[in-house]
Amino acid sequence: MLYEPLTLRCGVTLPNRLALAPMTNQQSLPDGLLGEDELAWLVRRAEGGFGLIETCAAYVGLDGKAWEGELGIDRDEDLPGLKRIADHMHQAGATAMVQLFHGGVRAAQALTGEQVWSASTWQEPAPDFETPRTATEADIERVIAQFAQAAERAEKADFDGIELHGAHGYLLCQFLSATMNPRTDGWGGDLQGRARLIREVARAVRAKVSPKFAVGARLSLEDWGHAKGLDLDESLQVAKWLAEDGCDFIHASLWNADRNTKKQPDAHPLTLARAALPKDVALFTAGSIWTRAEAEAALARGADVVALGRSAILNPEWPKLARDAAWEPRRPPMPRAELIATAVSPKFAGYLTRWKNFVAD
């Protein structure tokens, strides 16, 4: 089944069920335009057989930029570079999507020139934490429009779809959080209020692009890392709502796709998500998937597409090599020179040193 095509309900067809997960890599230019290292990284994985290539998180507004070398999709000057990505992906036989992103409190004033903002103001005990200001109605209206305009740019650049980044504690996830969003103005508080922003964004995006353009959303289903204040049952309800709002797929971001949920220890999140979604809405997943057997187990639990992150870094031809059931993927650590030989730039390799025992220096 891994190597069977999948047609989303909008009509976009993925040539197989293997995706390159969107990952922070810092390989674009300082002004957000496409960098050659970014393109080379994506091309190598497309040529390696991944049926879907998702870009790294691309900021929809400069005030949402969260790291150096982040790809931008916030202005029309980005279009030529974005079109180069889509064209190269298609030439390699892959479907191409952009992950749309706003960092909220995870943005950085040093990059944006503005105080970061979020659903509300709160503190975290981290030395580099920037206290956010509370979003105004104008901020919310502006960011909804920015997501929609970014999706329109992605379609103009000949991408096949977009994914809203509603996971990992970034802006859309911050509004979904019960701990980060106690607003009482209709944009927070109860689940309907907290889900309003991501739902309004999904609707605005769906209205801005053609019916044949894929729209999806990535969600963290439970607390993990910066994603806080999330409840499993609430996340499943949000997934249902997003399907009603026009999403063709939901991407369940699991840090370990082999584990059951914390709230229901006897239940697997993929099984629950698949049961919650309409049959014609695809379920993507990611989470420490290294081997073909692990990927097939995710499909057996209800996923339609498996997105590979760390395993795709070290194994750019994973889809081709995994056709041999006996093949074992390369695992970390990997020497920096070998990483660079897989089209991981020196900048990206430096970033990967933040992951314990991933880079062998």
What distance in Å separates the CA atoms of residue 242 and residue 282, rounded to the nearest whole number?
12
Predicted local distance difference test score (pLDDT) of residue 72: 98
From the list 178, 113, 170, the residue with the least C-alpha distance to 143 is 170
The per-residue pLDDT for range 182-232, each reduced to its tens digit, is 999 999 999 999 999 999 999 999 999 999 999 999 999 999 999 999 999
- Given pLDDT bands bounded at 50, 70 and 90, which one contains residue 124? confident
Handedness of CA 12, 255, 58, 87 (dihedral sign): negative
Q: What is the residue-wise DSSP string for 276-327?
A: HS-TTSEEEEESS--SHHHHHHHHHTT-SEEEESHHHHH-TTHHHHTTSTT-
Residue 125 pLDDT more than 90? no
Residue 128 pLDDT more than 90? no
Predicted local distance difference test score (pLDDT) of residue 173: 98
For 107-111, 122-126, 217-221, 314-318, which range has the lowest pLDDT when averaged over its residues? Answer: 122-126
What distance in Å separates the CA atoms of residue 230 and residue 253, rounded to the nearest whole number?
13
Q: Which residues are catalytic?
A: 170
Output DSSP code: residue 168. T
Which residue is it, tokens 């194994």? 315
The per-residue pLDDT for range 340-351, each reduced to its tens digit, is 999 999 999 999
**Would the pTM count as exceeding 0.85?**
yes
Mean pLDDT score of the chain? 97
What distance in Å separates the CA atoms of residue 11 and residue 8, rounded to the nearest whole number?
5
Residue 127 pLDDT more than 90? no
> Can you tell me the mean pLDDT for 72-81?
98
Predicted local distance difference test score (pLDDT) of residue 219: 98
> Can you tell me the mean pLDDT for 161-166?
98
b/e string for 175-208 if b means 16 or more Cβ within 10 A?
bbbbebbebeeebbeebebbbbbbbbbbbbbbeb
* C-alpha distances out from residue 243 to 20, 88, 145, Å: 23, 30, 20
The per-residue pLDDT for range 279-293, each reduced to its tens digit, is 999 999 999 999 999
**Neighbour-count burial of 211, counting CB atoms closer than 10 A to its CB (0-12 exposed, 13-18 middle, 19+ buried):** exposed
Helices (H), 7-94: 36-47, 79-91
What are 222's two structure tokens?
A: 């439970």
What distance in Å separates the CA atoms of residue 174 and residue 181, rounded to the nearest whole number?
7
What count of other Cβ atoms lies within 10 Å of the Cβ of residue 353?
12
Share of the chain above pLDDT 70, in %: 100
From the list 219, 179, 189, 190, the residue with the least C-alpha distance to 202 is 219
The per-residue pLDDT for range 287-337, each reduced to its tens digit, is 999 999 999 999 999 999 999 999 999 999 999 999 998 999 999 999 999
Q: In the CATH scheme, what is the code of domain 6-330?
A: 3.20.20.70
Facing residues of 219 across strands? Answer: 166, 252
Residue 126 pLDDT more than 90? no
Predicted local distance difference test score (pLDDT) of residue 361: 78
Predicted local distance difference test score (pLDDT) of residue 118: 98
